[in-house]
């Protein structure tokens, strides 16, 4: 299975495209599914569920939460994460049997604000390939870190504009979301893809300015 594990819709303040646009694009690019990981909200989940059923793709319910230590991705969630404190947010995710991924952990601006090694027992995976943020050096550093510490390696487009869906994705030998989840837990995933067009870097700003595409 090929799933883009890091996607933002216009329910994120800096997102531009509807959940349906993201999911249709995933289908058109022959992905098996996406994780909808909007910033600090799950408001797009119901729309995304309908679109996933309509287009016949898998949907992982997720959320990207900003904490005092940096962003974390909660995936395979059942309800919204409320806390903005790292350890409390981790507890919320674990309590609902979700998985915790650190996105773009070594990026100098958007990266994790503490020594990741202190939290290895809490983390299920590391984003070793991010499609939005430029410069591959930081992705390579994340991959080396994941290999050193035996963490699952995942990738996502970090898309804020639907055309970027699938620029990066995670691959696992799976035929269901449960098997895909287990592949992450068993460190049997790989990240593939390439950086999105530099032109797409402007879309988070356009999203904040009110551009919305249904």
Ordered domains of the chain (ranges, CATH) = 2-208 (3.20.20.140)
pLDDT of residue 214: 84
The stretches in the chain having pLDDT less than 50 are: none
pLDDT of residue 196: 87
pLDDT of residue 204: 78
pLDDT of residue 202: 80
pLDDT of residue 197: 82
pTM of the shown model? 0.96
pLDDT of residue 207: 85
Mutual orientation of helices 19-28 and 45-55 as an angle, nearest 10°?
A: 30
């Amino acid at each position: 299975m090929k799933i883009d594990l890091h996607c933002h819709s216009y329910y994120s303040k800096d997102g531009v495209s509807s959940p349906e646009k993201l999911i249709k694009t995933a289908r058109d690019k022959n992905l098996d599914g996406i994780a909808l990981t909007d910033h600090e909200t799950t408001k797009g989940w119901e729309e995304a569920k309908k679109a996933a059923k309509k287009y016949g793709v898998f949907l992982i319910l997720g959320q990207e939460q900003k904490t005092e230590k940096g962003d974390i991705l909660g995936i395979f969630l059942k309800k919204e994460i409320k806390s903005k404190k790292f350890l409390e947010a981790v507890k919320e995710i674990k309590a609902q049997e979700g998985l915790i991924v650190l996105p773009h952990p070594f990026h100098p601006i958007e990266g994790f604000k503490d020594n990741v090694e202190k939290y290895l027992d809490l983390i299920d995976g590391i984003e070793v390939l991010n499609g939005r943020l430029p410069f591959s050096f930081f992705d390579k550093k994340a991959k080396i870190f994941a290999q050193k510490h035996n963490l699952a390696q995942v990738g996502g487009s970090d898309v804020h504009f639907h055309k970027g869906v699938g620029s990066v994705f995670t691959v696992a030998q799976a035929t269901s979301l449960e098997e895909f989840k287990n592949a992450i837990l068993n460190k049997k995933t790989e990240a593939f893809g390439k950086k999105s067009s530099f032109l797409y870097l402007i879309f988070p700003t356009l999203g904040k300015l009110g551009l919305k595409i249904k």
